[in-house]
Amino acid sequence: MAVVISGRGSNLQALIDAGADPTYPAKIVLVVSNVPGAAGLDRAAAAGIATATIDHRDFAHRDAFETALSAALSKAGAEIVCMAGFMRIVGPAFVTRWSDRLLNIHPSLLPVFPGLHTHARALAAGVKLHGCTVHFVRPELDNGPIIGQAAVPVLPGDDEASLAARVLKVEHQLYPRCLRLVAEGRVMVEERVATLPGGDAETGAQLINPSL
């Protein structure tokens, strides 16, 4: 699998750490950034993973950039692509090329709060549970079949930074778990719904806020 990033690569690091286990079913063959000098490239290099920079500003059109990106991913032998803080909206041709093999992690419990500034919007809405979602990418923004979600409570006194930090911690747990399921061929997609194998969720597990 390959990882595409734009920034510091904290979720990339979670995938790198998971892949250090020899029993983990996915190996990172390439990390690509569209931002030169992104900190995540250093994380990959430190782990001995091949890196590449494909600056979207070097291309006159999005299609040309995505063609170059897809070519680099294919050349590296990637079968699955994980978007991890990749701050570009990809077009239909790219999504179709990697259909049901292109994953993204989003910092909200989709379908609520797609797009940007999710933590501020969650606080403004007064929700009591917030979290993150791993999903297959579709041409519509943050609207693909959901593979997994993790929820955290919104606590009294939370601000955007404290809530973001709490969500990020569970992002680092959720993404490797979801990638494992996809890599093992255990996720089936029917229309807009991803079906998971039974028995993976804790039976009867609940997260209630305020607590009972």
Extended strands (E) in 27-101:
30-33, 51-53, 81-83
Please write the tens of the pLDDT for every residue from 26-40.
Answer: 999 999 999 999 999
Would you please indicate which residues are annotated as catalytic (active-site) residues?
Answer: 106
d(CA 206, CA 191) in angstroms, rounded, equals 28
Extended strands (E) in 92-180:
102-106, 129-136, 146-153
Please write the tens of the pLDDT for every residue from 95-124.
Answer: 999 999 999 999 999 999 999 999 999 999
Please write the tens of the pLDDT for every residue from 142-200.
Answer: 999 999 999 999 999 999 999 999 999 999 999 999 999 999 999 999 989 999 987 55
Claim to verify: residue 34 and residue 114 sit in the same structural domain: no
Average pLDDT, the chain: 96
Claim to verify: residue 166 and residue 76 sit in the same structural domain: no
Residues in the chain, total: 212
pTM: 0.95
Instruction: Read off the amino acid at residue 68.
Output: A
Please report whether residue 204 resides in a domain. Answer: no
Claim to verify: residue 6 and residue 93 sit in the same structural domain: yes
Claim to verify: residue 43 and residue 117 sit in the same structural domain: no
Please write the tens of the pLDDT for every residue from 124-151.
Answer: 999 999 999 999 999 999 999 999 999 9
SS3 content of the chain, % helix, strand, coil (to 5): 35, 20, 45
210 conformational bin, left if phi > 0, alpha if psi -120 to 50, beta if neither: beta
Please report whether residue 191 resides in a domain. Answer: yes
Claim to verify: residue 69 and residue 115 sit in the same structural domain: no
Claim to verify: residue 124 and residue 35 sit in the same structural domain: no
Claim to verify: residue 67 and residue 149 sit in the same structural domain: no
Q: Which domain holds residue 118?
A: 105-134+144-197
Number of domains present in the structure of the chain: 2
d(CA 102, CA 100) in angstroms, rounded, equals 6
Claim to verify: residue 84 and residue 154 sit in the same structural domain: no
81 pLDDT above the threshold of 90: yes
DSSP letter, residue 66 = H
**194: which 2 tokens?**
């991803």
Claim to verify: residue 61 and residue 118 sit in the same structural domain: no
The domain that holds 111 is classified in CATH as 3.40.50.170
Please report whether residue 37 resides in a domain. Answer: yes
Claim to verify: residue 44 and residue 78 sit in the same structural domain: yes
- Please say which residue of 40, 73, 98 terminates a domain: 98
Q: First vs last Cα of the chain: how many Å apart?
A: 42
- Please say which residue of 98, 125, 156 terminates a domain: 98
d(CA 114, CA 156) in angstroms, rounded, equals 24
Claim to verify: residue 160 and residue 90 sit in the same structural domain: no
Claim to verify: residue 111 and residue 193 sit in the same structural domain: yes
**6: which 2 tokens?**
């734009």
How many CB atoms neighbour CB 199 within 10 A? 7
Please report whether residue 202 resides in a domain. Answer: no
Please report whether residue 212 resides in a domain. Answer: no
Please report whether residue 160 resides in a domain. Answer: yes
Residues 109, 135: contact at Cβ < 8 Å? no
